[in-house]
Structure 1
Amino acid sequence: MKTPYITLDQVKEIAKTYPTPFYLYDEKGIRENARKVYKAFSWNKGFKEYFAVKATPNPSILRILKEEGCGTDCSSLTELQMSDACGFHGHDIMFSSNDTPLEEYKVANELGAIINLDDFTNIQELKDTLGSFPETMSLRYNPGGYFRIANTIMDNPQDAKYGMTTAQLIEGYRILKEGGVKHFGMHAFLASNTVTNDYYPTLAKELFELAVKIKAETGVALDFINLSGGVGVPYKPDQKSNDIEAIGEGVHRVFDEVLVPHGLGDIRIFTEMGRFMLAPYGALITKVIHFKHTYKEYAGVDACAVNLMRPAMYGAYHHITVLGKENAPCDHTYDVTGSLCENNDKFAIDRALPELEKGDYLFIHDAGAHGFAMGYNYNGKLWSAELLLREDGSVKLIRRAETPKDYFATLDIDDCMKKYL
C-alpha cells in the first residue's frame, strides 16, 4: 500500500491556483531521506552524496539537498551552470559526462568541479583542452561481462557505452600520475534501479579489490570511490524497500575487509543516488477528464506521456492513488491514458482502481526522479508546473507551467505567429 503525502482537499485547494497537471514534491520527505543516507554512511570520514541533477533539475530541490550536505553530479553545461547558480562550488560538483563537448570540460574546470572521465581517449583530450591535468581526477570503470548478485544477473555492463576496461583504467592512472595529478578517484555504475540491500556492498567489494590492484600496479592510492547510483525504489506496492542503513553497513563491512588491511582505510565513499533521493518524494497530480468504452475501458486524464514518459518509454509501473477513494475497493479495470497521438501514451494498462468519475484527482507515485526531467513537447503539449509542499504545509511554485508563448519563443517567427506572442 502506498500512501500519498497530500489529501484530496489539499489538492482541490492547490488546483484553484495551479491547474492540473502539476508535479508536487514533498520537502519533509526529501530532507528526512537525505539525513538517513548520511547517517547510514557516517562511519566513513568524508562521505558525500552527489545528487544526480539529471533526475530532478530544479534549483529549489538542489538547494534543499545542499542544505542537507549533498553535492551535485552533472552531465552537461546547463547542469553545471545550475549547480553553480545554486551555490555548489569546487569539489561539491562532480562532472560525469560522456561524448563530451570540449567546452564543457573548460567550464567544469573553471568551477573547480571533479572531472570524471568516461573514456580512455578523454585523458589526452582533456590535457590538450585544458593545457594540463587538474590536481584531482576520476576515471569511470566498466568491468564488461554481466554484473551478478548471488548468481542473479542484475545488468550487462558489456553492452553499456560507459566506462573503461580494467587495462585502460590502470594505464589511465599511470598517465594521470605522470601528468602531475595528485588526487585520484574511481567511479562505476553497474546496475540500475536495484531493489536489494546487496547491490552497493557487492559493487563496493569489486571496486575495493580493484583499488588494491591499482595501488599495487601503479602506486596510485585512490582518494575516493564513487559507487554512483543504482539503488532503486519499490515502484510496486508489494515490493520491499531498500534499507539504506543495512546498505551502508554492508559497504562498511567490505571496506574493513578489503581496503583497511591494504592501508587504504582513508578512502572516501561517494554516492550518486538521484532516484533513491527523490523518486518517492515527487508525484504527478492529474485529473480524470474523459471516458471511452470500446474493447476496453479507458480513463483519460489531463496529463500525458510528455509529463511522465517512463510508462510509455519503458513500460514502467507507477502506482496510482485516487485521492479521496484511498479505502474504496479496486473493483474496476482501466487503461489510464493521455491525449497524445501515440498508443503507448498510457500511465497504466489493465489497472485495478476504484470506480472513476470525471473530476477525480489521481496521485501518480514515485515520479520525483526522471519524471518532469524527461518531459518533451510532442503534439505541442506544454510542460507542467512544479510545486513544493513545504514542511509547514504551504505550497510554493518552483517552476511555472509553460505557455504557448514559451513554446513559440525559439522559432524564427514571421507575421503568421505574432498574434500568439
Structure 2
Amino acid sequence: MKKEPFVTKTQLDEIVKEYPTPFHLYDEKGIRENVKALKEAFAWNKGYKEYFAVKATPNPYILNILKEYGCGCDCSSYTELLMSESVGQVGENIMFSSNDTPAEEFALADKLGAIINLDDITHIDFLEKTIGKIPETISCRYNPGGLFKISNSIMDNPGDAKYGMTTEQIFEAFKILKSKGAKEFGIHAFLASNTVTNEYYPTLARTLFEVAVKLQKETGVHIKFINLSGGVGIPYKPDQEPNDIKVIGEGVRKVYEEVLVPAGMGDVAIYTELGRFMLGPYGCLVTKAIHEKHTHKEYIGVDACAANLMRPAMYGAYHHITVVGKENEPCDHTYDVTGSLCENNDKFAIDRQLPKIDMGDLLVIHDTGAHGFSMGYNYNGRLRSAEVLLKEDGGTQLIRRAETPMDYFATFDCFPVYEELKKNTEEADKLGK
C-alpha cells in the first residue's frame, strides 16, 4: 500500500522556487473537509463543540480556518492563550487544560473568560487564591488509574500518568467546588494516545458517562459537558486503516442514549479537543536530498533535521516518506534518511526501502501536520522552518516565515556583544545572497 502526498511534483517544483526547503506544507482543502466530517459525526448532540488542541499546530492561520466551523481552542499555556485571543477566541470558546499550572496562567485564563479544567484537587485552593473566586463554570480532569484497554491492540496506563484526579478526588472536588459557588460542571479525561480504532471514543465515553451519572446523583451538581479530549489518532503507516469519524460519532451516540438519557442527563454537551486527527495528515515536511554517504550503511542526508520534526528521534515514530516524482519506481534501495544534528538519533527513517535517491530530489515526509513544527527547537543553532498553506485554489500562502539568525540572537540584546552579532549576521546574509 502507498501513501499519496496531497501535493504533486508539478506543484512542489513551483512552490520550492518561492520557499526554500525545508518547510512544513499544509493542505487547506483537506483540513476543511475533515472538520466538516467531524461536525457531521457529532451533529446529533445539540451542544457539541470541538476545542482544537493548539499545541498540535500553533498557527493563527490554522486556528482561523477552524474557527470558521465553530471550533474553539484547547490551551495549556500562557502563550497559547494569547494566540487564541489574537484570533478572537475568548470566553467559553477557550478550554484551558493544563497541569502544574503557574498562577499567571490561571489569571490570564480567567481574564479571558476561558473554561478552566482543573488537573488536581489541590488546584482548587490555588485557583481561588490566584483569582479570588471559583468560576461558576468549572471542569475537572479525571484519571481512573489502572490500565485502559481496547480489544487486543490498544493499551495505555493511566495509573502512571501525571494527569487528573482519582475517582475519590473528583467526587470530593465537585463537592468543594459546589460549596464555593460553582454552578456548571464538566468532566474531562484523556486515557490513550493516537488510537487507530473506532472503539476508543465510545469506550472512553462509557467510562465518563457512568462516572458522570454517579457524580450528579451523589453531589447534586449539574453536569453541563463531558470532554472526551483527544486520543483519536491517524494511520502513520500505509497498511493502517484510518479511523472512521462517522462510525466513532455513532458509537458515542449509542452509549449516550444507553447511559445518560435514562439518567435524565440528555442535555449534556459533548466536547472534543482533537489535534492529531484534525491536522496530522494535512501537513507534510518538504525537504531536499543534499548528501549521500556510503559507509557501514547507506545514508541520505537531507536539509531538514530533528529540529524540524522531532518525533522520529524522540519516539522512534514512523513517518512515511515519498520521493517526489519517483512514486512508481521500485523501492529497491535501503537507506537511513538523516539530518545534520550532532546526535545519532537525528534520523527520519532507518533501513527504509525507498527508490534510488539522487541529490536534489525532493522528499515529502508525511503526517507532520500535528506535533511536527510545534515540537521544533534550536539545538545546534538550527532554525525553525517556514510554514506554508497550500490553498484550495492551488495557490500558496506563507503563514509563518522561516527563522533567521537574528531571531536566534534576539534574546541576547542585554549583552554588548549583541550589536556585533547583528553586524556579523547582516554581513553573512549579504554573502548568502
Does the 8 Å contact 1:385/1:399 carry over to 2? yes
1:179, 1:151 → 2: CA distance? 44
Equivalent residue, structure 2, for 1:281: 282
| 1:68-127 deviation line (CA, Å, top 9, x unaligned) | 110000000100000000011210000001111101111111111000000110011111
How big is the shift at 1:142? 0.4
The 3-state SS of whatever aligns with 1:240 is coil
Please list, as runs of the form range in 1=range in 2, the aligned pairs for 1:309-324 lying within 5 A after superposition. 309-324=310-325
Please list, as runs of the form range in 1=range in 2, the aligned pairs for 1:259-298 lying within 5 A after superposition. 259-298=260-299
Does the 8 Å contact 2:95/2:117 carry over to 1? yes
Equivalent residue, structure 1, for 2:102: 101
Equivalent residue, structure 2, for 1:242: 243
Does the 8 Å contact 2:388/2:396 carry over to 1? yes
Equivalent residue, structure 2, for 1:302: 303
Q: 1:249 to 1:348 in 2, by over 3 A?
A: same
Does the 8 Å contact 1:281/1:366 carry over to 2? yes
Please list, as runs of the form range in 1=range in 2, the aligned pairs for 1:17-416 lying within 5 A after superposition. 17-150=18-151, 154-411=155-412, 412-415=414-417, 416=420
| 1:259-282 deviation line (CA, Å, top 9, x unaligned) | 000001110000011000000000
| 1:276-300 deviation line (CA, Å, top 9, x unaligned) | 0000000000000000001110000
The 3-state SS of whatever aligns with 1:409 is helix
How many residues matched?
421
Does the 8 Å contact 2:154/2:195 carry over to 1? no
1:125, 1:344 → 2: CA distance? 41
2:90, 2:309 → 1: CA distance? 31
How big is the shift at 1:221? 2.8
1:222, 1:250 → 2: CA distance? 21
2:132, 2:367 → 1: CA distance? 44
Residue type of the alignment partner of 1:189: F
Q: 1:114 to 1:338 in 2, by over 3 A?
A: same
2:179, 2:213 → 1: CA distance? 19
Q: 1:315 to 1:378 in 2, by over 3 A?
A: same
Structure 1: gaps (5+ residues): none
How big is the shift at 1:129? 1.1
How big is the shift at 1:154? 1.4
Structure 2: gaps (5+ residues): 427-433
2:13, 2:360 → 1: CA distance? 10
The 3-state SS of whatever aligns with 1:280 is helix
TM-score of the superposed pair, with normalisation by structure 1: 0.99
2:342, 2:126 → 1: CA distance? 44
Residue type of the alignment partner of 2:416: D
The 3-state SS of whatever aligns with 2:80 is helix
Equivalent residue, structure 2, for 1:14: 15
Runs of 4 or more above 4 Å deviation: none
Residue type of the alignment partner of 1:68: Y
Does the 8 Å contact 2:183/2:222 carry over to 1? no
Residue type of the alignment partner of 1:57: P
| 1:182-222 deviation line (CA, Å, top 9, x unaligned) | 11000000000000000000000000000011012101131
Does the 8 Å contact 2:56/2:371 carry over to 1? yes
The 3-state SS of whatever aligns with 1:16 is helix
Does the 8 Å contact 1:211/1:221 carry over to 2? no
TM-score of the superposed pair, with normalisation by structure 2: 0.96
The 3-state SS of whatever aligns with 1:214 is helix
Structure 1 stretch 409-418 or stretch 317-326: which is displaced more?
A: 409-418
How big is the shift at 1:375? 0.2
Q: 1:338 to 1:64 in 2, by over 3 A?
A: same
How big is the shift at 1:150? 3.0
The 3-state SS of whatever aligns with 2:205 is helix
Does the 8 Å contact 1:116/1:139 carry over to 2? yes
How big is the shift at 1:405? 0.8
Residue type of the alignment partner of 1:417: L
How big is the shift at 1:43? 0.4
How big is the shift at 1:152? 5.1
The 3-state SS of whatever aligns with 2:19 is coil
Does the 8 Å contact 1:285/1:364 carry over to 2? yes
Does the 8 Å contact 1:155/1:190 carry over to 2? yes
How big is the shift at 1:48? 0.5
1:208, 1:152 → 2: CA distance? 23
1:351, 1:108 → 2: CA distance? 45
How big is the shift at 1:151? 5.6
1:253, 1:2 → 2: CA distance? 33
